[in-house]
Structure 1
Amino acid sequence: MEFKDYYKILGVTEQADASTIKASYRKLARKYHPDVSKEANAEQQFKEVGEAYTVLKDPEKRAEYDVLRKQGSHRADGGFQPPPDWQSSHSGQRSYSHSSDGDFSDFFDSIFGASGGGFRQSDGFQRSASQRGRDVNYKIALFLEEAYEGCQRQIALRVSEPDQNGVMRQRDKTLKVKIPAGVTQGQHIRLAGQGELGVGGGKAGDLLLEIEFAPHPYFAVDGANILLTLPVACWEAALGATVEVPTISGKVKLKIPAGSNSGSKLRIKGKGLAKKGGEVSGDQIVTLQVSLPKAHSDEAKVLYQQLAESESNFNPRHIFEG
């Protein structure tokens, strides 16, 4: 099937309004009318001009054609393939009166339905192609506290929709969206019918919210688990201690086992992100990081020297020895 560029046939742009399209059609119809024109292929040109005008003069058909034009694909053999989900409503229910104007092209018949013979250009369409609106993807950045507790946010996005002349225009749209508690990084929330409008009575597309987390000063996230690197003093790691630890819902007490090392991991149950409905599914994973003061007092240096002599049999680099 050969693609028909109706805008090119009428010599107008995609943004042309109805009056411009009508004026161009009248000019070309007079130029190619078979009764008066001496142009080569005047009859065929006249048919193409009439077919183009039949589609572009009708806002709904023009909107359908614009969707087809943008989303269809041109094959290597020169043919044209409509989008995979293109479908017609009321198929086979349209009828035309026979006239000497001739038939529509195969392209028209394939897209808008077989004409069943000739037609008069004054005949109206009794059916239209139905095309679902496109889904719109939108990334929304949340603070971790918002993801944990749930929140309501107002978002602004831009969607395409046909105007009164059937021309696809960009429109700004604002929505208030509710984010449930416990959403995770990369999760998608589908808002049905909030995407781009359909054409020919087709359903509107959906809005797909993709959750992103804004960087947090000290928490990180792994799925439903919240991660924290916790600095501890060397004596706390050696002797054990109970320390205060921040969580996404407030501070808790955490017991550091004696003899802990940097990289040791401790788990605080139920302090991660929650599932939909509030059911807890994540934990907080605490990774210890043994830290030393930047400077030591003379007394501390003496104590470190005594410790070194007392633990002289300990070699932390024994793994490198053969």
Structure 2
Amino acid sequence: MSDDPYSALGVSKDASDGEIKKAYRRIAKECHPDLKPGDAEAEERFKSAAAAYDLLKDAETRARFDRGEIDASGQEKPQQHYYRDYAEAAGNPYRSGSNFGDQSDMSDIFSEFMRGRGQGGFGQREPYEFHAPGRNRQYTLQISFLDAVYGASQKLTLPDGDRVEVKIPAGITDGQTIRLRGKGDPGMGEGAPGDALVSVSVAPHPLFQREGDDIRISLPISLDEAILGGKVPAPTIDGKVNVSVPPGTSSGRTLRLRGKGVRKRGSSDRGDQLIELTVVMPKEIDKDLKQFMETWRDAHSYDPRAGMPS
């Protein structure tokens, strides 16, 4: 994946949201693996563009990347903190130039410190032990549309360089969070380490759209297929199938393929695939078609807008 999402999409850093979206769609149409199977270079370009679009489509995430707070994969960049950052903090009573208060205050603080350390003679308490759980870490992981449908495993690189495997459950939706126990910041004392919270982002697909557990596509059909009906090929997430187009089909009619959608969480059942048919006219109306329609209209004209309010 490119370290620069703007370069991956071929846009400038001041590109508008519309320009970014348009650039991603263009690359998806040119390089999607379903459209160019076996083309490794095209697939890699599509993956880079999808990851870049996911980062830049959200205004807040884009701004954080521009400020250098996160990298191109959406992961937090480790921030350097120096002693001076803490020593000079406004809330630190011991910062340079501060008034240390009267001597009685300092004596109380020193006495409490010594008691906590178990120093100062016989009969003192044991050293005070502090335990606290580690902080959780937030990450973003982009996956493909089909990986979200079927489930998958991906590697995630943590700030310390450790690579962990993230198991993507089948049917996961955009924005869901996967918790990796013990992969956050270490705890203090005997405190347990925090967790890694991985927010999943699902890249859009050029053909399929998800509606809950259903999959929806728009399928173009020809004029003669709409009038006469017949079998036409249609893509599904499992591969191509032939569907029956009823004679006299109009644009907008939707066919339903049972059990061709996404597997439902906690069940072996699957949703459906919805195929919305769109009648596409030929690019050129030739003389024969024009003459036939003129003759047909004279004898069979009808008003498809009858009943609409005037």
Which bracket does the TM-score occupy, shorter chain normalised?
A: 0.5 to 0.7
TM-score (norm 1): 0.58
The CA deviation at 1:95 is: 9.5
User: Cα deviation per residue 1:294-318 (whole Å; 9 max; x = unaligned)?
Assistant: 2111111112222322321x11222
Partner AA of 1:125 in structure 2: P
Partner of 2:9: none
Larger Rg: 1
Partner of 2:13: none
Classify the secondary structure of the residue corresponding to 1:252.
strand
Change (3 A) 1:319 1:200: farther
Aligned length, in residue pairs: 220
Partner of 1:154: 155
The answer (yes or no) to whether the contact 1:132–1:205 under 8 Å persists in 2 is: yes
**1:292 and 2:275 are equivalent in the alignment:** no
TM-score (norm 2): 0.60
The CA deviation at 1:261 is: 1.8
- Write out aligned runs for 1:141-220 (5 A): 141-158=142-159, 171-220=160-209
Change (3 A) 1:179 1:278: farther
User: Cα deviation per residue 1:166-189 (whole Å; 9 max; x = unaligned)?
Assistant: xxxxx4543221212332223332
User: Cα deviation per residue 1:123-169 (whole Å; 9 max; x = unaligned)?
Assistant: 763432x33223333222211222233222112244xxxxxxxxxxx
The answer (yes or no) to whether the contact 2:220–2:278 under 8 Å persists in 1 is: yes
Change (3 A) 1:277 1:295: same
The CA deviation at 1:285 is: 1.1
Change (3 A) 1:243 1:194: same
CA distance in 1, matches of 2:203, 2:186: 31
CA distance in 2, matches of 1:15, 1:282: 55
The answer (yes or no) to whether the contact 1:185–1:223 under 8 Å persists in 2 is: no
Change (3 A) 1:178 1:315: same
Change (3 A) 1:192 1:310: farther
* Bigger strand share: 1
> Which structure exhibits the higher relative contact order, with contacts defined as CA atoms closer than 8 Å and separated by 6 or more residues?
1
Partner of 1:138: 139
CA distance in 1, matches of 2:178, 2:101: 58
Unpaired runs of 5+ residues, structure 1, are 1-11, 17-23, 26-31, 33-38, 56-93, 100-118, 159-170
Give the root-mean-square deviation of aligned CA atoms: 3.6
Classify the secondary structure of the residue corresponding to 1:320.
coil
The CA deviation at 1:242 is: 1.1
Partner of 2:84: 13
Classify the secondary structure of the residue corresponding to 1:228.
strand
Deviates more, 1:211-220 or 1:272-281: 272-281
Classify the secondary structure of the residue corresponding to 2:84.
coil
Match of 2:129 among 127, 130, 136: 127
Unpaired runs of 5+ residues, structure 2, are 1-82, 88-93
The answer (yes or no) to whether the contact 1:153–1:178 under 8 Å persists in 2 is: yes
The answer (yes or no) to whether the contact 1:239–1:259 under 8 Å persists in 2 is: yes
Change (3 A) 1:216 1:315: same
CA distance in 1, matches of 2:178, 2:300: 57
The answer (yes or no) to whether the contact 1:140–1:212 under 8 Å persists in 2 is: yes
